[in-house]
Amino acid sequence: MTAPAVTEKPESSISVLVAVLRLRQISAVPIVEPDGRLVGIVSTTDILRAPAGARARDIMSTAVITAPVDAPLDVAARRLVAGRVHRIVAMDGDRVAGVLSARDILAAVKGRKLDEPVSRAMSFPVETIDVGAPIEEAVTRLARANVHGLVVVDGNAAVGLFTQVEALAARKLAPSLLAGPVEDVMSYETICLDASTPIHRAAAYAVAMNVRRILVVEHRRLVGIVSGVDLVDVLARAPVA
């Protein structure tokens, strides 16, 4: 886990929350009262959907998925997968001790051999957006869709990602710039793997390249997407090599 955890207060403004997430390169922050009591968590999804002037207390999720700091890793992994979240909060009694992400778990279990193809773990169909679509359209679609990122395509080829990180950065753009193509702000940091790639190898690539999702292709055509949670789901149950 990452410890100590970065936390914020219920009164924190949206601008403060955005600054913390971008500075620390994280996608969620636990919200704690001055006495240290955990009361919620704010993710990038919550921020993107937040009304103007909102505070952390107004948008936080109060049903926080947690695990004791001394819980076995496989128990924590099952809770993360069951909740379909990218991180859980590790607790030492009633205090936040750290945050355990899907990436942290993958780093610990990537050595478990699972030769099943990555296509077994992928989600499909994939939410895509054309490389020439306006940035404003990408922000709107991402906020409405129940996904953490859109795959940017040029014809049938995947060329990048427009994730919540890019969407948060776009909030600071002038209205005239929001009419520009999503290509101008998309992330090029993607991994494309053939559908036949073994799952354990896909997990090793994800950890080595520090990415949260992998694009799955067949004959260069996009057929699915695999998140860190998807990989944790199968690898945490695989035998140790």
- Domain assignment present for 164: yes
Same domain, 91 and 134: no
Residue appearing with tokens 């998807």: 230
How far, in Å, CA of 88 to CA of 80, rounded? 6
Among the three residues 40, 72, 101, which one is the final residue of a domain in this structure?
A: 101
Work out the number of other CB atoms within 10 angstroms of the CB of residue 215. 20
Note the pLDDT tens digit of each residue in 75-129: 999 999 999 888 999 999 989 999 999 989 988 877 777 788 999 989 888 899 9
Tell me, yes or no, whether 135 and 47 share the same domain: no
Range(s) of the domain holding residue 133? 118-235
pTM: 0.80
Q: How many Å apart are CA 79 and CA 83, to the nearest integer?
A: 6
Q: Name every residue whose Cβ is closer than 8 Å to that of residue 23 and which is 6 or more positions away in sequence.
A: none
Please report whether residue 40 resides in a domain: yes
Domain end residue (candidates: 43, 76, 101): 101
Model confidence pLDDT, tens digit, residues 177-236: 899 999 999 988 788 999 999 998 998 898 888 888 899 999 888 899 998 899 988 877
pLDDT tens digits, 19-43: 999 888 888 999 999 998 999 999 9
Q: Are strands 28-32 and 38-43 parallel, antiparallel or unpaired?
A: antiparallel
Residue 7: inside a domain = no
